[in-house]
Amino acid sequence: MIDPRRLQVLRALADHGTVRAAAEALHLTPSAVSQQLGALEHEAGQALLSRHGRRVQLTAAGELLAEHAKAVLAELERAEATLAACAEGTIGTVHLASFASAITQVVANAIGTLRQHSPGVRIVVHDAEAHTSLLQLLSGEIDIAISMEYRATAQIDSARLTRFPLYAEPFDAVLPPGHPLAAGERIAVEALREEEWIAPLPDNPCRAVAQTCCEHAGFLPRITHSCDDFHAVTALVAAGAGVALVPRTAIGTDYPVAVLPVSPNPPERRVFAAVERGREGHPLIRTVLDALRA
């Protein structure tokens, strides 16, 4: 393996013509330069210099290696500059996992902000539900997880995570058009006791929120249909398949449904970004967190 530091000595000799001049340029002694060149010849396995008394001249192999040295040293300089930029948080890639509506509400806007103000920072987005994203974070698959507070995420090893609040939003009741309760301004969840329900799949935290809300109202919802896509849930409600509790920003707007705030005690989801504890101070992670929080 050729030591790139010795390539720098060879390049200096090619540029300056003599061992003494190369030594002065590198702030070394002529003896140190000669030793480095001798070691480089040993690493290369062939003569790089032809000696004529006190004068040296590059051989054909030496001239070829000197040209390669120019390219190698330029790449090393670029690598050092890239690492410095990464350390400053101005360049690099961050893998982020989030559920769909937070991608719409927060992540997409953050990407736009970064493209304008920190174009060297790139976010790679992975679609994942709240509980799954935290597990991906702890397994090292991603750098930032966007999740929500609920029973399952509270059980995740919080000592290993640092959380940053992003936003909170209520769940609204979504009813079919023409439903007897659709004309009101608000609705109590207990009024939907006898309805068929549409809810996310069992491992989706929003299902747990809806079930807990119904339990506090004194009943268990009769869940007939399950779907994780809230736009699809809204379409099912519009078709008369049942009612649902949906986070306000996730309600599909293309369907003729009645959307009513829940009163009293509306259910709510609190959305946060999480990183592994200790990484929140990394400049690149901090750059993305600042964009998300903004």
In one-letter notation, the amino acid at residue 137 is L
pLDDT band at 175 (very low <50, low <70, confident <90, very high): very high
What does the pLDDT look like over 203-236, one tens digit per residue? 888 898 999 999 999 999 999 999 989 999 999 9
d(CA 133, CA 275): 11
CATH 1.10.10.10 residue ranges in the chain?
4-87
**Amino acid 81: pLDDT:** 63
Considering the chain, what percentage of its residues have pLDDT values greater than 70?
93
Distances (CA, A) of 238 to 34, 94, 250: 84, 39, 15
d(CA 252, CA 259): 10
d(CA 204, CA 130): 7
Q: Any idea which fold 92-165+272-293 has?
A: D-Maltodextrin-Binding Protein; domain 2 (3.40.190)
DSSP 190: G
CATH 3.40.190.10 residue ranges in the chain?
92-165+272-293, 168-270
What does the pLDDT look like over 26-35, one tens digit per residue? 888 888 888 8
CATH for 168-270 is 3.40.190.10
Helices (H), the chain: 4-16, 19-26, 30-44, 60-87, 100-102, 108-117, 130-138, 151-154, 205-216, 230-238, 283-293
User: Model pTM greater than 0.75?
Assistant: no
**Amino acid 242: pLDDT:** 96
Q: Which residue pairs from 25-33 have beta carbons closer than 8 angstroms and sit at least 24 positions apart in sequence?
A: 33/9
Token pair for 45: 């396995």
* CATH 3.60.20.10 is right for the domain spanning 4-87: no
Q: Please, are residues 166 and 271 in contact by the beta-carbon 8 Å criterion?
A: yes
What does the pLDDT look like over 132-164, one tens digit per residue? 898 899 888 999 999 998 765 555 666 788 999
Q: Is the sign of the CA dihedral 254, 260, 262, 266 positive or negative?
A: positive
**Amino acid 157: pLDDT:** 62
Cα 218–Cα 224–Cα 227 angle in degrees, nearest 5: 110
SS (H, E, C) 124-174: EEEECCHHHHHHHHHCCCCCEEEEECCHHHHCCCHHHEEEEEEEEEEEEEE
Q: Please, are residues 33 and 23 in contact by the beta-carbon 8 Å criterion?
A: yes
pLDDT band at 86 (very low <50, low <70, confident <90, very high): low
Note if the bond before 264 is cis, omega within 30 degrees. yes
Q: Residue 168's closest CA among 277, 247, 53?
A: 247
**Amino acid 42: pLDDT:** 87
Q: Please, are residues 267 and 209 in contact by the beta-carbon 8 Å criterion?
A: yes
Residue of higher predicted confidence among 65 and 187: 187
DSSP 105: I
Radius of gyration of the chain (CA): 32
**Amino acid 89: pLDDT:** 65
